[in-house]
A = this chain, B = another copy of it.
Amino acid sequence: MKLDKLFICQAFFLYRNRKSEMKMEQTQLPNWLKKRAEVTPNRIALIVRDESYTFGQLYAYSLEYSRKFNQFGIRKGNKVGLLLSNRFEMVVAIHAIMNIGGELILFNTRLSSNELSWQFQDSELDFLLSEEKYGDMIQEMNSAKVIFVENVPSLLENDEFVAVEEFTLNQIATIMYTSGTSGFPKAVEQSYGNHWYSAVGSMLNLGLQENDRWLCTMPLFHISGLSIILRGVIYGMTVILHEQFQEERVNRDIVKYEVTIVSVVTTMLNRLLEQMKEKEYPSSLRCMLLGGGPAPLPLLEKCREKGIPVYQTYGMTETASQIVTLSPEYSIEKLGSAGKALFSAQIMIHYDGREAKANEIGEILVKGPNVTKGYRNRKTETELAFENGWFKTGDMGYLDEEGFLYVVDRRSDLIISGGENIYPAEIEAILMKHEAVFEAGVTGCADDKWGEVPVAFAVLQNNVLEKDELINFCKKYLASYKVPRDIYFVEELPRNSANKLLRRDLKKLIRKD
């Protein structure tokens, strides 16, 4: 009898719970691409390899893919991995899975097959969409079905398929892996709301013009690339998509397509300017969005001479792209600053358990509806990453009197190499796997082409070991951009009194060699 009552009571409160959830702000928006195809069907959505597609066409393609994927067995709620290069089919596949209501897990195609295997397992994939050139990379898929986009015919029988009508903002749309202090990748959950607020925040900062065309050379498996594709659909804006960064093509297309916005990192911007030589950019180019750390003065001055408006930005996978930006009018005056938080977001500097004063260095905390709710299946890491609703970036910095952010030290001694984030701990863990290595430390060294490259320092066991052997060992486990450019064998690593590795002091060891 008592039990009965309890059950009724539970049932009632579960119902209340559900009702309260329903009543709560379960904000929904129309399916973005579907809606966009209704509102402006004839606008150009995408230009890839000089082929143009309208929003109407892009949606039609995405429906065809959805139907086909549905035939393959993909259903609402399925976890669908993407291991694809920047190609038309990747954009279509992203929208097709959103039409079905599946979750997208975007994998970095530059990872080693070992790294990929680990992420495939961790993400509990139901399906993997890939292309034939990555066939070798796909090992140990267990239960997940693999579909190569080359095998998705472009004409299909008229099978019934009804796209999801609405996106719920707190539903997870995409997942991307990011490493961190631990060196182990974590799956960042990005909701539809995170992407929406990221797009809106960027628009409130940069404005939105009828003639806007955003050139994307960033990989779509990174948030810097994916966010451009999603903005395109939300804004009704043309995106010009390149498979990869090639300075000649970028400079050509900026002129050819009257591009208004380009996303770059420092090394790309350098290469663009070099290739451009004395030539001028057209006045239609209204924004060079520069990520991946503060730009050096000579580069900014060169851009000013050429009349290129540079917007520096700071952001990460966890913030669904930019969260802080510096407008061109401040780029020289506030040299080295990342700017101010976007309208919908906030920054705080945390020092010694309190909010830091102006110019006081502390950890950078961010907050806003574009910030992830956490890491999938990593309760502890998620709890550690948040404090009172603020996300702890792990980066160190300060705000000046006017509220401009200066990032003084990236999280976990992060190395940024050609726009890719490299976490030293991840490489160190691999080096230490080798039986001859006693301990190892990795840091970034300046590089003309990539900005930074990783360099390793190893203390050996008694054994003798060739540098090349250890580098080859790394190649087995790591994406090539993470493989140390050089390895120094040293007697000991610099550590502080608490025995913590001082990565910034590693470089000093080079002279001794």
Q: Which residues of A contact B (CB under 8 A)?
A: 2, 5-6, 9, 13, 16-17, 20-21, 24-30, 35-36, 38-39, 169-170, 193, 200, 203-204, 207-210, 234-236, 340-341, 343-346, 368-369, 403
Contact = CB atoms under 8 A, between A and B. Distances in A.
Contacts of A6: 5, 9
A475 B77 CA distance: 62
A171 to B, nearest CB: 10
Given A204-B208, A207-B210, A236-B204, A340 B27 contact: no
A95 B66 CA distance: 47
A9 B5 CA distance: 11
B25 A27 contact: yes
A29 B204 contact: no
Contacts of A26: 24-25
A39 B343 contact: yes
Given A6-B9, A24-B24, A25-B24, A343 B204 contact: no
A345 B30 CA distance: 7
Contacts of A38: 340, 403
A6 B30 CA distance: 42
Contact of A209 (B5, B27, B200, B209): B209
5 closest cross-chain pairs (CB), A and B: A13-B13, A24-B24, A25-B170, A207-B208, A25-B25
B24 A27 contact: no
Contacts of A24: 20-21, 24-26, 170
Contacts of A369: 27-29
Contacts of A341: 39
Chain A binding surface SS class: mixed
B25 A17 contact: no
A143 to B, nearest CB: 31
B30 A343 contact: yes
A200 B341 CA distance: 18
Contact of A203 (B17, B193, B208, B346): B208
Contacts of A27: 25, 27, 169, 193, 369
5 contacts: A13-B13, A24-B25, A25-B193, A207-B208, A236-B343
A200 B169 CA distance: 15
A203 B234 CA distance: 11
A166 to B, nearest CB: 8
Nearest to A18: B20
Contacts of A204: 203, 208, 234-236
A340 B203 contact: no
Contact of A20 (B17, B39, B169, B343): B17
Contacts of A235: 204
A2 B4 CA distance: 12
Nearest to A32: B343
Contact of A30 (B9, B193, B344): B344
Contacts of A203: 203-204, 208
Contacts of A9: 6, 9, 13
A399 to B, nearest CB: 11
A29 B370 CA distance: 11
A193 B209 CA distance: 24
Contact of A207 (B13, B29, B200, B209): B209
A203 B205 CA distance: 12
B200 A346 contact: no
A340 B35 CA distance: 10
